[in-house]
Every structure is written in C-alpha cells, then in structure tokens.
Amino acid sequence: MIETLARLDPRFSAVVSQGGLYVDIAREAREHFGEDTEIALVLGRDAAERIATWDYGMPGVFDDLVGLHRLLVAARRGEYEPAPRHRNRITRLPMDATWDDVSSSEIRRRIGTGENWYDLVHPDLAEVIKSLYPESHAGSRENSGHK
C-alpha cells in the first residue's frame, strides 16, 4: 500500500522491510538508501509510546533509534509527549481529531462487518485492500455507494 502511494508522488519512495520492529525497519532503510539519506519514521502517538517503553532486551535501543532517525509522530487520540532528551529529534504531526478513528484496525473491522470502509482510504488503495481482505457483500462497492 505504501508503495502504491509512493508512486503518486516522485518525492517519496518505499521499500519492503523484513524487520518487524521500527528499529529493524530503520536499519534496513539505512542499508538500502545509504548514509547520506535522512530516514524518518512516521507513526502514531500510540506506537511512539509503545516503542519508547519497549523491552528490547538491552538498554538504550530507543535512544539510539531516535539519535539516528527522526520520528514524526501523529497526534492520534492525544499528543505524544517525548522525553526531554528526545524533543529535538521527535516532531509532532498535528492532526484534526476527526482522523482519530481512521486506522487500519478500523478498516479491517468495517470490512469484516460489511460496513462502508471506502471513505477511510485513498481511492488508489481500495483495490489493493480488497485483494488483501475479503469483504462481505454488504460492504461491497456497489452496496456502499462507491463505484
């Protein structure tokens, strides 16, 4: 999905990562794009709070991540408040509260219950999402007013 959106704007690019943690994804991005490319990670408030307190099995992993890669944290159901030592590397992305309910979890929930989900996604992603998540007939494009 990110690859699809990246193709819409030449200023962006995307690669697939084998890592599951943000620290792994950032490391793979650095290996792919090289040392001269700034890598920034975009995430929501809830994810930022999780990775800041995650038990990585050794101290300092989050500090190292933030030291190497800027974090762009979207306000979702509240603002993220970074530790004072991280404030110069973490940028808040203000978002209108009307976006609080827009999430991949909500899209999957709506698909599963047959509710309209098309208004939550970029139109170019609808077909990609349909191929990943089977939808009930009640949530189909024809029944949701989207063609």
Q: Is the pLDDT of residue 147 over 60?
A: no
Q: Is the pLDDT of residue 69 over 80?
A: yes
Q: Which of 10-19, 82-91, 94-103 has the highest mean pLDDT?
A: 82-91
Domains of the chain by residue range: 2-95, 104-144
Name residue, tokens 């890598």.
39
Mean pLDDT rounded to a whole number for the chain: 84
Per-residue CA distances from 116 to 4, 43, 100, 103 (Å):
22, 25, 17, 14
Angle between helices 61-68 and 45-53 (to 10 degrees): 130
Entry pTM: 0.70
Q: Which of 31-35, 73-77, 82-86, 135-139 has the lowest mean pLDDT?
A: 135-139
Q: Is the pLDDT of residue 37 over 60?
A: yes
2-95, CATH topology level: Rossmann fold (3.40.50)
For position 135, what pLDDT does the model report? 65
